[in-house]
Amino acid sequence: AQSVTQLGSHVSVSEGALVLLRCNYSSSVPPYLFWYVQYPNQGLQLLLKYTSAATLVKGINGFEAEFKKSETSFHLTKPSAHMSDAAEYFCAVSYSNYQLIWGAGTKLIIKP
Amino acid sequence: DADVTQTPRNRITKTGKRIMLECSQTKGHDRMYWYRQDPGLGLRLIYYSFDVKDINKGEISDGYSVSRQAQAKFSLSLESAIPNQTALYFCATSDHTSGSRNEQFFGPGTRLTVL
């Protein structure tokens, strides 16, 4: 079965430091890939998506992700963390025309 | 105004009660989904609907039922609630013209507690 793995249920970084959230998917077939963010007590909001165009994808709030087919990865990065980035981040993969396969999520903690 | 709305936002109920969660959307999308979120498990698909007459079970449909009353409305029912259905429930929509991109748009969620 296809799966999505997010390494680390919690990631803690200092304000101003690099943010790196990892996502790996299981299939060799190139999928469509998404990162969603969930702020406390809110729904999920699309951060960015890869749909087979450029492999480096820029999203909202200074986040970006790079699709690496050889590594089956789609890691999310931000050069400098801000307190407002504290949230839970979900990676999701689409192979079919209806289903998203979700990672378990990573909570990003920003230390002052 | 929010594009995808869910009511209620919070609900506490007792074991054995019937509960309905409602979702409405103004995005004009044809596809709608119900998910539940549990800590450490991500999102799991309960039911999805491609249009008013096309409803399908997801990976965890046992104990749930749905109704697609109109293109814009999709409700989720728990016929006899049990404590392990305590979770955060999300409704989502997508547009079939997106194909495999399948970008989904989410409501704010309903926090359900079953005592």
User: Across the interface, which of B40, B102, B108 has its CB nearest the CB of A32?
Assistant: B102
Indicate the pLDDT class of residue B96, thresholds 50, 70 and 90.
confident
Beta bridge partners of A105: none
- What pLDDT score does A98 carry? 72
pLDDT at A18 over 80: yes
Interface size between A and B, measured as CB pairs under 8 A: 57
Of A45, A95, A102, the CB nearest to B43: A102
Q: What is the pLDDT of residue B99?
A: 64
Residue pointed to by tokens 């409405």: B24
Yes or no, beta carbons of B106 and A49 under 8 Å apart: no
A46 shares contact with chain B (CB less than 8 Å): yes
How high does pLDDT run on average in chain B?
Answer: 93
B47 reaches A (C-beta below 8 A): no
Question: What are A53-103's pLDDT values in tens digits?
Answer: 788 999 999 999 999 988 999 999 999 999 999 999 999 998 776 788 899
A51 touches chain B (CB under 8 A): yes
Element (H or E) spanning B21, and its range?
strand B19-25
Mean pLDDT of B16-40: 95
Q: Is B36 on the interface with A (CB under 8 A)?
A: no
The identity of residue B112, as a single letter, is L
Least confident stretch, A7-11, A25-29, B17-21, B61-65: A25-29
What is the chain B residue with the closest CA to A100? Answer: B102
| Closest CA in chain B for residue A53 | B101
Residues A39 and A42: their CA atoms lie apart, in Å, by 5
* Alpha-carbon gap, residue A37 to A57, rounded angstroms: 16
Residues of chain A neighbouring B103 (CB-CB closer than 8 A): 34, 46, 49
Q: Contact at 8 Å (CB) between A9 and A91?
A: no
pLDDT category at B46 given cuts 50, 70, 90 is very high
Q: How far is B109 from chain A (nearest CA, A)?
A: 6
Task: Report which of residues B40 and A74 the model is more confident about.
Answer: A74
Give the model's pLDDT for residue B1: 58
Q: Is B10 near chain A, with CB under 8 Å?
A: no
pLDDT at B106: 94
Read off the pLDDT of residues B63-82 as tens digits, 9 standing for 90 and up. Answer: 999 999 999 999 999 999 99
Kindly tell me the number of DSSP H helices and DSSP E strands found in chain A: 0, 11
Indicate the length of chain A as a whole number: 112
Mean pLDDT of A38-52: 89
